[in-house]
């Protein structure tokens, strides 16, 4: 079966994440310790014990989710000989998950990935004062409908599509007042449901330009190797392996739309039959079923999941 390995983004974090892995597998414990050392922070304790409010902070959630994803990949390699160059056609990740995918595929070192994501989270938070920006999910809207609502709600402010997640699920991002207008417009136009998201900043819109500038500076000073398999980039929904292109696309990703629905469809068009979600939660597997019912998806995040997946190889 032709596989792609995919890596979750923010929102998949939960207190207790990684605990069972660390208890069951030494390589997972070492992964978490390596991230702690790179950040000079006991992130692994925060992941296991909380508090949830601290784990949810963008600067903590992003490296934490990456740490769990990479730990799972290392467990799969040590316990079952999983090698992306042999067992995958592509890797991809949702927003911060693109960094997890690149680390798993050998483009970044683990320490560099952790530091980049810590900085990314901090820069995204600083880009817009708390309360000035917002995000909302438009449920039941196709991309064209969501774009029309965002455009009509903008009224001179920023309001644009942040995530095209699946058929009938788009996320908009921008100025808080514009997002409120978009939610009202969505109701007028008969959308099933629209809801503000509990996020602290308006990700993936032009208000994030200061964060994009910060990431451009940081990425310029980090070694990027060619990944062992191509990564399907969020902003182009196409495969990339060239390190300079990866660097450029990661900068564009901060303000650009996450084209996740198109990423999944691209992988299917290229012959992928199964997506393997690696890390905390099951969000991407759920989205896959809504994007294309013919595409199989499985989530691997616990010791039981690891055992089940390795039996399926």
At 204 the three-state DSSP class reads coil
Active site residue 94: no
Task: Single out the catalytic residue among 12, 69, 95, 160.
Answer: 95
Task: Single out the catalytic residue among 100, 204, 280, 299.
Answer: 204
DSSP secondary structure letters along 171-213: EEEEEHHHHHHHHHHHHHTT-SEEEE---SS--SSGGGHHHHH
**Cα separation, 209 vs 124, whole angstroms:** 9
Active site residue 95: yes
Q: Please check whether residue 201 is in contact with residue 83, taking contact to mean a CB–CB distance below 8 angstroms.
A: no
| Nearest of 257, 251, 259 to residue 216 by alpha carbon | 251
Q: What is the dihedral of CA 235, 236, 238, 239, to 10 degrees?
A: -60
Residue keyed to tokens 């990935």: 113
Catalytic residues: 95, 204
């Amino acid at each position: 079966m032709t596989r792609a390995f995919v890596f979750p983004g923010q929102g998949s974090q939960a207190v207790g994440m990684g605990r069972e892995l660390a208890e069951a597998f030494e390589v997972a414990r070492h992964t978490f310790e390596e991230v702690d050392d790179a950040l000079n922070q006991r992130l692994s304790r925060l992941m296991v014990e909380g508090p949830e409010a601290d784990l949810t902070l963008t600067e903590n959630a992003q490296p934490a989710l990456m740490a769990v994803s990479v730990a799972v990949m290392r467990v799969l390699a040590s316990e079952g000989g999983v090698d992306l160059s042999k067992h995958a056609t592509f890797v991809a990740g949702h927003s911060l998950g693109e960094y997890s995918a690149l680390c798993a595929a050998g483009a970044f070192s683990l320490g560099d990935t952790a530091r980049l994501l810590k900085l990314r989270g901090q820069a995204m938070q600083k880009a817009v004062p708390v309360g000035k920006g917002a995000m909302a999910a438009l449920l039941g809207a196709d991309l064209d409908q969501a774009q029309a609502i965002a455009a009509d709600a903008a009224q001179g402010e920023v309001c644009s599509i942040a995530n095209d997640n699946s058929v009938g699920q788009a996320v908009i991002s921008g100025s808080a007042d514009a997002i409120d207008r978009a939610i009202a417009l969505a109701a007028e136009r008969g959308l099933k449901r629209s809801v503000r998201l509990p996020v602290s900043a308006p990700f993936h819109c032009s208000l994030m330009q200061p964060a994009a500038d910060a990431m451009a500076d940081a990425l310029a000073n980090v070694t990027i190797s060619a990944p062992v398999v191509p990564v399907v980039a969020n902003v182009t929904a196409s495969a990339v392996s060239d390190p300079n292109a990866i660097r450029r696309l990661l900068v564009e990703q901060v303000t650009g739309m996450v084209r996740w629905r198109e990423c999944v469809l691209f992988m299917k068009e290229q012959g992928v039959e199964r997506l393997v979600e690696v890390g905390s939660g099951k969000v991407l597997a759920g989205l896959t079923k809504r994007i294309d019912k013919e595409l199989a998806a499985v989530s691997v995040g616990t010791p039981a999941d690891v055992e089940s997946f390795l039996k399926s190889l």
